[in-house]
Amino acid sequence: MNLVVFIGIALIFGSVPPTLSYGVNGGVQCAACTIVSGIFGQVAEIHSTDILNISLNICDHLFGPSTNNACRKAVQILEPLLFLLIELQGKVTPDTLCYALNICHQDHGEKVCHLFPVPSNNLLQSEIELVKIKVKPILEGWYGTDDHSKGKNICELPGVRDLCAYLSTIWDGMEPAYDFDGDKFSSSEKWRGSHWRGRDCFDVNSDIYPGRRPYYADVNFDANCNGIWGLDKEAGIPWETKFCAASKSRGIVMFGDSVGAHFHFPSAWFNPALISKDAIFKNPTGVLLDEFDWPQYSFSTGFKNITDPELIQGHVDSIYLRMRKRNLCNHRDYQNVCRNGATSFDLVKNVKNIARSFNDKPLTILLGVFGNDVCNRFPDTLKNMTSTKQFYKNIMQVIQSLEKTLPAKSHIALIGLVNGSFIYDTLSERLHPIGEYHGNVRYKDVFKWFECMQISPCNGWLSENKSIRDATTKRAVELSHVMKYIATSYISKNISLSYVPNPLTQVINNWAKKGGEVWQLFEPIDGFHPNQVAQPIIADILWKTLKSTAPESIGPINPHNKEILKMFGDQGGH
Ligand SMILES: [Ca+2]
Ligand SMILES: [Ca+2]
């Protein structure tokens, strides 16, 4: 039960801002409790004896070995619950347990929400009462003997409180946790480090970072971290000047939401057989530090081969890799400035996190909020979508503030919103990973349950009501038109703009033409984030569009690439 809050929340975090409580009837905490009890209940069926150790291993796995204290402490607090789960497995549903714990409840005027099939003869209420008797001593152990009838917040528990606070800190900023010179570039990978922005090759000097122009032609040291520096003594010319000065090298930024950050929740974590075997949790990964995002493998700023196949599999290709291949002077000049759940309103705030001054090399910014402006959790979802007028205002504000800071010849590619109308039809009747083991939970059940607790990542496209889904698509198309209008009408002396239709429609069409099924392209847990199969296809389509509509955004091929490779090898790696 150590993941009580977090697996469930992360599931939803892909598309909503990271807040630890929202929704009705216990909302996101109820969801977390139900999902984690569901998974661990299944684990207990297979492998009950070692569930505590399995939980502790998961802590190490998610947080990395050095930061596991908060998680391990939380597991120890929740231990009695683990044993109750073993006792109850197969007898009551996870919904029942979470209601008995008062983490799920029924708010005034709301329906009772449940994910797993309701017990026959509507036994839910009487089962809840029975489990409450068993839960009572545990709750008294935690909260004392006062009234437990009020809904409880898991983050109020001693021990768990520290874990919640820790995670809030991790997921708070968009700057690297380890950045000793404060230039927004880091020498470590995780926690908004080099997984997100090119590695800082000298993290105690804020004048040395990827993307800057060379310092005195980088004769004495590598000021822009591209691995090229020193002097060609025979010719008396600095290597950086010889290889890069005329190359029009430039950097790439992905600026947007969870799609740009490559949200991915390993489905192995939903598989009780794999969890019990413990194999997938053997290596500490610190996945949580990267907010369940995998920018290092993404279509925009991906740069490394996948080495953890138990968590994620597939091929990596990206706009960054292609720009780097085109011109090796671009080495390490990438930034992924994305945040799960970001809307156009968030872009206005997050734009300050793009690290670039007008003295640096030009930048190509892929700006895309794929769906959060039309996706929300509210029952009246249509009223809560961003209006075209407001969207125009937000995007204009972002562009104007970028125009003030970006180097000349920078380019902004505005990417249209996704058309999510395929999601419901593709998935609703399929089994969701949490229901695969017993064959009892389909995507439409998950969607309805989200809606019931008002925590849905996208009420519009996940609604069973087709007219609501159509209205959501309509607004997404309108907002894409706003992007296109801005891209074609904005006049600037300093920067250029272009519009890129959302590549996903073409990705789906190409895939279907080859005989593939649409669901194979999306994350199984949430059903709508493009998975690692889709990432390289997106990169390819996006690249071709950029190349034909805005060739200046990718720059020319550097004729010195072979010489750079020969002279500087892997240029210090990533
Ligand atoms: Ca730094
Ligand atoms: Ca250099």
Local structure of residue 227 (DSSP, 8 states): S
Taking residues 541-556, report their average pLDDT: 98
What is the Å distance from ligand 2's center to 221 Cα? 7
Q: Is the pLDDT of residue 302 over 60?
A: yes
Query: pLDDT-derived band of residue 33, with 50, 70 and 90 as boundaries?
Result: confident
Pairing type for strands 231-232 and 363-368 reads: unpaired
Active-site hit among 37, 55, 186, 258: 258
Dmax over Cα atoms in the chain, in whole Å?
Answer: 89
Judge whether residue 186 has pLDDT over 50. Answer: yes
Higher pLDDT among residues 493 and 173, named by residue: 493
User: 83 C-alpha vs ligand 1 centroid, how far in Å?
Assistant: 46
**CA pseudo-torsion sign 24, 25, 28, 31:** negative
The overall average pLDDT reported for the chain is: 88
pLDDT at 446 over 50: yes
Mean pLDDT value across residues 375-383: 94
Identify the nearest ligand to the CA of 186 by its number.
Answer: 1
As given in the structure block, the two tokens for residue 362 are: 């030009």
Beta-strand pair 251-256/363-368: parallel
Does the structure show a pLDDT above 50 at 1?
A: no
DSSP string, 173-189: -SS-S--TTSSS--SSS
Q: How many angstroms is it from 337 CA to the middle of ligand 2?
A: 23
Q: What are the structure tokens assigned to 339, written together?
A: 């945040």
Q: Which ligand is nearest to the CA of 328?
A: 2
CB 372 within 8 A of CB 17: no
**CA of 216 relative to ligand 2 center, distance in Å:** 10
What angle is formed at CA 257 by the lines to CA 256 and CA 259, rounded to 5 degrees?
Answer: 110
**Percent over 70 (pLDDT), the chain:** 90
Give the angle 389-395-397 at the CA atoms, nearest 5°: 100
pLDDT at 11: 40
Over residues 424-434, the pLDDT tens digits come to 999 999 999 88
Instruction: Identify the band that residue 467 occupies on the pLDDT scale cut at 50, 70 and 90.
Output: very high
Is position 553 annotated as part of the catalytic site? no
188 Cα–ligand 1 center, Å: 10
pLDDT of residue 279: 60
Ligand showing the shortest atom-to-Cα distance for residue 209: 1
C-alpha 240 to ligand 2 mean position (Å): 6
Q: Which ligand is nearest to the CA of 249?
A: 2
Mean pLDDT of 283-295: 80
Give pLDDT, residue 7. 44
